[in-house]
A and B are shown apart, each in its own frame.
Chain A
């Protein structure tokens, strides 16, 4: 997506100047400026140790952001993402506690989240309930079901499941696993969105669902597949998170984490109207939030103030989105 805007430069300018400032660029610059300010003013910010901590702390958020971006670009929304991630991880942990080997446990967890994604996608595609309501309802449903099945709020994997714990705590080549996972998912999702037919169809569907349907895109199947994919990627985030902390707290479903996920997605320019944004958007959004929260933590700013700042950043991002993709598209629609 980014490459395409660059390649245009070699041709003669079009009748109307393109947007010179993309939202990704704005957010990236803000993040870099913020990082420089922190590096100059905060002792201990610009150290290798802290930067690794920063990267690791936002990895889970970033992976969840990539999952969310897949559905948001297709004009959807998945508020049950955290619930699916918690349920999938809990299933893996319980399977491990029951003595099953790690690969089998992971497959069970994957089956659980794929089923959740399928239900979401099916209700949205075939019953045509708006994604917001569908996924809100399934999030509650999953939370209730896991509480009913587990009888506890927090589940712990057996300390003997070292292969599982390695997925969150391992450091191949000195790099923490969460960072490796985040990078791998980012590359794969980027290739999927920009290089495959299915990825192109997600943009087409997000841009104009009815036009996509009339063009012959199998819209309903694609919706189901995209929610299943999102749930599967969310499941990876859950594995990384539960393996690195050696636990999964079901209360995470009721936390504000889902709003952080929406924040990093929208911040970087994955517009909620669909069809816009890319993996780069999620990366810069995650970077900005990571730098911001890390800096605030070093400054010892308390949680309430951090929440206020996060709220302001989200509001600012939505206003920016609105400025860059204005509703009154007077200039864009001169041709009418």
Chain B
């Protein structure tokens, strides 16, 4: 492969990158800039990708990865710069133009029609005048089988899980004879098992000579799957280099422009003091006993103790989010579903989150955009609403002074990088948005805090800060439960690890001695 490293700011045409191989890249972007409201989302970025190559694109949130890819896919227009297809200048007015040129973008939020079947979705946009369902389904079946996807062509898309929807999207891209596929955070909502399958698929596409741009937050993944890696920071190109010359530490350094120690993934670097306290001395705050909830949660039992972080690992569909929502009242537990939940020995049964919050139990959502924050509101208003919704914070009239002091306190406690607490929350990076959502929960002065995927879609620099905040909560004597799909995270921040599988807690491990293999073994088998 190409040994050249293009340094940032070097005004070198992207075509030069191809010199090493002597091939013309499938797609190259030269000096690309895009300005939004006077601010450069990307600035003078050179980028290219070859046939049969996986080119990973990494960078913190707001680094310009999505902007660059949207320009390539024709979803937005560059302010300046050129796009070339097979060395010839190309201009994509609309996504359809890019699609016609064989460029497909597989978005995180899938673009399938939920009320149609898999086969109909595969055919979408290419329907003949009269559709014969039989031949449609047979064609779809052949396509899916050739890709080794276990998806029923006649299944309604709405009934499929995220992983299967993604398979359908990829199948559609293959059907469109895609020459370049852009994956935007393809593994964000996949379970480890599904990620493995997805990697095989990418290998397969690469073998077929498809060029692939791979956007991901997960650095290990990018390092594993890609041939070359490009790092963007603040809209500028930092480095493009062959993956084999890169390490995780180097990548992180390039992404954030500073060295981050590995502490947030080193085992118990922060957890040590609390973990040394014998658990018998801790107060049992919450006890879940044989709770059953439809088919999602079956006979789950476990306890939470004050001053302890409990990590919950498990695949998606293992019932881990559901049990958390049951505890916090976000999912109503019907009387016909069995089991008991005891809060400090007293049986509780919440119908709405408000009741749980009144008892000091807060749940921090896994999808902050969907149901975490209020996008029209300022940072401080978001947190103030949290306080107003509690018994202690209940007032008829609003108080600017309370709002200000609350925001100042939480911004300092959670190290939220905001110049102005009156700024709109949507102006913040993903990590800071997550911190505001955490702040909104902490404004409710809880004694039990449940985090669901606390660092999903969070920039690398903010992850250790969120982990630090979680640890401090436990040190303050709160019971903390953290649900995470990312095993290094579970291992590093927990005192105790619960593994859920198919609605049951199947293993309870001491984080000090557990390893990833143990957890995966329990979660899958």
Contact = CB atoms under 8 A, between A and B. Distances in A.
Interface of A: 4, 7-8, 11-12, 14-18, 194-201, 203-204, 207-208, 210-218, 275-276, 329-336
A200 B288 CA distance: 35
A216 B420 contact: no
A219 B39 CA distance: 39
Nearest to A18: B424
Nearest to B41: A334
Looking at A211, A213, A215, A335, the one whose CB has the most chain B CB atoms below 10 A away is: A215
Interface string B327-347: 010100000000000000000
A203 B372 contact: no
Contact of B357 (A8, A11, A216, A329): A216
Nearest to B386: A215
Nearest to A12: B419
Contact of B385 (A215, A334, A336): A215
B295 interface: no
A216 B371 CA distance: 12
B428 A335 contact: yes
15 contacts: A12-B419, A17-B37, A197-B395, A207-B376, A213-B352, A215-B353, A216-B390, A217-B389, A218-B352, A331-B36, A331-B37, A332-B426, A333-B426, A335-B61, A336-B61
Interface stretch (B126-134, B137-145, B429-437): B429-437
B377 A203 contact: yes
* Chain B: interface size category: 35 or more
B377 A8 contact: no
Given A197-B394, A207-B376, A329 B353 contact: no
B31 interface: no
Given A195-B398, A334-B62, A7 B422 contact: yes
A200 B423 contact: no
A207 B372 CA distance: 11
Contact of B389 (A210, A216, A329): A216
Contact of B353 (A11, A195, A214, A335): A214
B429 A8 contact: no
B365 A14 contact: no
Nearest to B433: A335
A181 B372 CA distance: 39
Interface in B36-75: 36-39, 41, 61-62, 66-67, 70
A17 B38 contact: yes
A201 B374 contact: no
Contacts of A14: 419-420, 423-424, 427
Contacts of B395: 197
Contacts of A200: 381, 384-385, 388, 398
A196 B398 contact: yes
A17 B370 CA distance: 24
B374 A335 contact: no
B193 to A, nearest CB: 26
Contacts of A332: 375, 424, 426-427
Interface in B388-404: 388-390, 394-398
Contacts of A207: 374-377
B355 to A, nearest CB: 9
Contacts of B70: 330
B36 A8 contact: no
Contact of A214 (B363, B419, B423): B363
B94 to A, nearest CB: 13
Contact of B374 (A4, A12, A208, A336): A208
B385 A335 contact: no
A335 B354 contact: no
Contact of A335 (B39, B357, B390, B429): B429
B440 interface: yes
Nearest to B369: A336
A216 B423 CA distance: 24
B153 interface: no
Given A15-B427, A211-B371, 19 more contacts: A7-B422, A12-B420, A16-B36, A17-B38, A18-B424, A195-B397, A200-B385, A200-B388, A203-B374, A204-B377, A213-B330, A214-B363, A216-B386, A275-B375, A330-B76, A331-B36, A331-B37, A334-B41, A335-B62
B296 to A, nearest CB: 18
B373 interface: yes
A329 B384 CA distance: 25
B457 interface: yes
A196 B374 contact: no
A276 B376 contact: yes
Nearest to A331: B36
Interface in B402-455: 419-420, 422-424, 426-430, 432-433, 440, 444
B378 interface: yes
Contacts of B432: 335
Given A200-B381, A204-B377, A214 B371 contact: yes
B426 A216 contact: no
A3 to B, nearest CB: 10
A335 to B, nearest CB: 4
B249 to A, nearest CB: 25
B428 A201 contact: no
Nearest to A271: B376
Contacts of A196: 396-398
A330 B37 CA distance: 11
B419 A11 contact: yes
A197 B376 contact: no
Contacts of B66: 336
A275 B353 contact: no
Interface string B264-294: 0000000000000000000000000000000
Contacts of B37: 16-17, 331
Given A195-B398, A334-B36, A215 B420 contact: no
A244 B393 CA distance: 44
A330 B36 contact: yes
B420 A204 contact: no
A216 B353 contact: yes
Nearest to B429: A335
A276 B381 CA distance: 14
Contacts of B354: 216-218
Interface string B356-373: 011000010100011111
B328 to A, nearest CB: 8
Closest 5 CB pairs of A and B: A216-B389, A216-B357, A210-B371, A207-B374, A11-B420
A314 B41 CA distance: 35
B353 A197 contact: no
Contacts of A275: 374-376
A201 B386 CA distance: 10
Contacts of A203: 374, 376-377
Contacts of B371: 208, 210-211, 214
A197 B384 CA distance: 10
A34 B376 CA distance: 31
Contacts of B429: 335
A5 to B, nearest CB: 9
A117 to B, nearest CB: 21
A278 to B, nearest CB: 11
B109 to A, nearest CB: 11
Contacts of A217: 354, 385, 389
A70 B402 CA distance: 25
A8 B41 contact: no
Nearest to A332: B426
Contact of A211 (B373, B394, B426): B373
Nearest to B373: A211
A2 B241 CA distance: 50
